[in-house]
Amino acid sequence: MKQDLSIGQISLDRQYKQIKLALAFCVLGFFATVFTGKPLAGAAFGFIPIIIVLAARSLDYPFELCLAFVIFSFFRIHEVFPVLMPLRIPNTLAIGAFAALGWHMFLRRTIKPIWPRELILFGAFFLHVTMGLPFATDRPAAWEYWQGTYSKIAVIVFAIAWLMRTERHFRRLMLSVVLAGACVGFVAIYNKLNGIGLVEETRVTIGRSFGSALGDPNDLSLVLLFPMAFAASLAMTKGLFKIDRAIGIFCIPVIMYAVICTQSRGGLLGSLAVFGAIANHFIKQKWLLIGGGGIAGFTLMIAAGISKRASGGADEEGIDESAMGRLHAWNAAWRMALGRPFTGVGVDNFYQNYFFYSDHWDGVPHAVHSTWFVVIAESGFPGIIMFVTLFAMAVTGAIGSLRLLQNAPGVPRALALALVAGLAGFGVSGTFLTQGYTWPFYIMLALVVGLLKYAKNFDALHCEKQNIDKTEPRKS
267 and 307 in a single domain? The answer is yes
Those residues with Cβ within 8 angstroms of residue 209's Cβ, 6 or more apart along the chain or in another chain: 197, 215
Residues 350 and 398 in one domain: yes
137 Cβ contact partners less than 8 Å away, ≥ 6 residues apart: 345, 346, 349, 352, 353
Residues 108 and 243 in one domain: no
**Domain-embedded: residue 129:** yes
Q: For residue 199, what are the β-bridge partners? A: 203
pTM for the model: 0.83
Which of 96, 112, 128 is where one domain is finished? 112
List, for residues 247-303, the tens digit of each pLDDT value.
999 999 999 999 999 988 888 899 999 999 998 888 777 666 677 666 766 666 676
Integer Cα distance of 268 and 265 in angstroms: 5
Q: Report yes or no on 131 lying in a domain.
A: yes
Residue 472 domain flag? no
Residues 97 and 148 in one domain: no
How many CB atoms sit inside 10 A of residue 288's CB? Answer: 11
In degrees rounded to 5, what are phi and psi of residue 199? Answer: -105, 135
Whether 2 shows a pLDDT value over 60: the answer reads: no
Shared domain check, 159 and 66: no
* Same domain, residue pair 152 and 295: yes
Taking only the tens place, the pLDDT of each residue in 417-472 is 999 999 999 999 888 888 899 888 999 999 999 999 999 988 887 777 766 655 65
pLDDT for 466 equals 66
- What average pLDDT score do residues 213-234 get? 92
Q: What is the pLDDT of residue 3?
A: 45
Average pLDDT, the chain: 81
Q: Which helix (H) or strand (E) holds 7?
A: helix 2-36
Quick one: 104 and 174 in the same domain?
no
Count CB-CB contacts under 10 A for residue 258.
29
**Pair 197, 95 in one domain:** no
pLDDT in tens, 71-101: 998 999 999 999 888 877 887 777 777 777 7
Total number of domains constituting the chain:
2
Range of the domain at 163: 116-462
Give the whole-angstrom CA distance, residue 84 versus residue 39: 13
Do 129 and 271 share a domain, yes or no? yes
pLDDT at 6 over 50: no
Domain boundary among 82, 112, 142: 112
The answer to whether residue 476 is domain-embedded is no
Domain co-membership, 282 together with 165: yes
Could you tell me if 362 and 260 lie in one domain? yes
Q: Are 133 and 146 in contact (CB under 8 A)?
A: yes
- Residue 48 clears pLDDT 80, i.e. is over it: no
Beta bridge partners of 203: 199
Quick one: pLDDT band at residue 29, thresholds 50, 70, 90?
very low
Residues 156, 267, single domain; the answer is yes
